[in-house]
Amino acid sequence: MTYLSNRVLTMEESVTLAAGARAKELKAQGRDILSLTLGEPDFVTPKNIQDAAIKAIQSGKASFYTVASGLPELKDAINSYMEKFYGYSVDRNQIVAATGGKYVLYAFFMAVLNPDDEVIIPTPYWVSYADQVKMAQGQPVFVQAREENDFKVTAQQLETVRTEKTKVLLLNTPSNPTGMIYTAAELQALGDWAVANDILILADDIYGRLVYNGAAFTPISTLSEAIRKQTIVINGVAKSYAMTGWRVGFAVGNPEIIAAMSKIIGQTTSNLTTVSQYAAIEAFTGDQSAVETMRQAFEERLNTIYPLLNAIPGFEVIKPQGAFYLFPNVKKAMEMKGYTDVTEFTTAILNETGIALVTGAGFGAPENVRLSYATDMDTLKEAVDRLQAFMLD
């Protein structure tokens, strides 16, 4: 007999958070752990943003609730961000802010899904999508983005899983965990397919500004008027402004869906923490130079670590173009070390080398592990050295 709901009993724990927590716990016990688990920049929030938050606290403005969907000034700041990075404007009633991109996604699923409505999720996928869909009583439908196709799906593949119940196509580009970016032409084909079949597009653009080595990110919502109408954009400040702890996410799109999401937010968290809203206004409208400095640091780490990782026996890695993850295929490495289960392999790496990675199993990828390179270069180099020694042992 348990008091717990079937909902929670059938839900998976977030493997990224679990891996990050495990690494912290082992470190606290005095173990020599190098954590490449969480996708969390190692930089602190830029000074101008910190200052804006302090000012909001000291002036008293941060003491109070705001409307559930966010301050009008924040919505205007998000609109100016959209104008700058997406090239189009939106009205306030097309914008909602909430407690992190993760909660914005959840509010979206709660707002649009009826029991058994289907959400197409390309695999490998970020760990929380499928469980959030299930929490909202929807049905995740996975489409395998093949490694040979740079982990990208095609409209032909989507068509094979389309049913009467298909309601949403989820796209995350640049991708967590693969770091791949769909080209404008590829997105156009997916977007046209969604429009033709009246399927909503959920565009998780959170890594849009973290692109490297000349790669370009084209938001799907910019490709045509019809696609824009069909798309809910999800974005936030966490990854590109080093603001994971502030929990600021937002959605932009269809006013009816945005109002429904706001209703859910109003009945659950109420507004996004007021001080974080003031910090986000500065992030979106203030000096952007820190974003570029951090992007360059990630690019340098990628370019340094990628060849070293790819040279490790049994590790095969496609070079990512964005986000801050490497997603090696370790099938051969597992064979060499006598493992068949990637989670067990990840645990063995942790126990024997002190390198904390995230198992690909949580991303629907049983032959891969994920490394976050949002950490300093010395840690990354040391981690790769230890992995190399582990494989040669």
Binding site for ligand GLU (CB under 6 A): 14, 16-17, 38-39, 102, 126-128, 176
Quote the strand ranges of 173-261, DSSP E.
200-204, 231-236, 248-252
Distance between CA atoms of residues 266 and 185, nearest Å: 38
Pick the closer one to ligand GLU by CB: 79 or 346: 346
Pick the closer one to ligand GLU by CB: 75 or 209: 209
Distance between CA atoms of residues 172 and 224, nearest Å: 18
CA terminus-to-terminus distance, the chain: 47
Q: Could you count the other beta carbons within 10 Å of the beta carbon of residue 149?
A: 13
User: Closest approach of Cβ 41 to ligand GLU, in Å?
Assistant: 11
User: Closest approach of Cβ 324 to ligand GLU, in Å?
Assistant: 9
Residue at 362: amino acid letter: G
User: Closest approach of Cβ 244 to ligand GLU, in Å?
Assistant: 7
Residue 120 in 3-state DSSP?
A: strand
Distance between CA atoms of residues 130 and 146, nearest Å: 19
- Buried b or exposed e, range 298-327, using 16+ CB within 10 angstroms: bbebbeebbebbeebebbbbbbbbbbbbbb
Pick the closer one to ligand GLU by CB: 39 or 46: 39
Distance between CA atoms of residues 345 and 355, nearest Å: 12
> How does strand 166-172 pair with strand 118-123?
parallel
User: Closest approach of Cβ 17 to ligand GLU, in Å?
Assistant: 6
Tokens of 102: 């993760």
Pick the closer one to ligand GLU by CB: 45 or 176: 176
Pick the closer one to ligand GLU by CB: 66 or 128: 128
User: Closest approach of Cβ 101 to ligand GLU, in Å?
Assistant: 8
User: Closest approach of Cβ 283 to ligand GLU, in Å?
Assistant: 18
Tokens of 287: 């000096």
Strand order in the sheet with 248-252: 95-99, 248-252, 231-236, 200-204, 166-172, 118-123, 139-144
Pick the closer one to ligand GLU by CB: 228 or 370: 370
Backbone angles phi, psi at 48, to 5 degrees: -60, -30
Pick the closer one to ligand GLU by CB: 23 or 223: 23
Distance between CA atoms of residues 137 and 122, nearest Å: 19
User: Closest approach of Cβ 239 to ligand GLU, in Å?
Assistant: 8
User: Closest approach of Cβ 309 to ligand GLU, in Å?
Assistant: 18
Residue 70 in 3-state DSSP?
A: coil
Pick the closer one to ligand GLU by CB: 17 or 215: 17
Pick the closer one to ligand GLU by CB: 86 or 126: 126
Residue 247 in 3-state DSSP?
A: coil
User: Closest approach of Cβ 133 to ligand GLU, in Å?
Assistant: 15
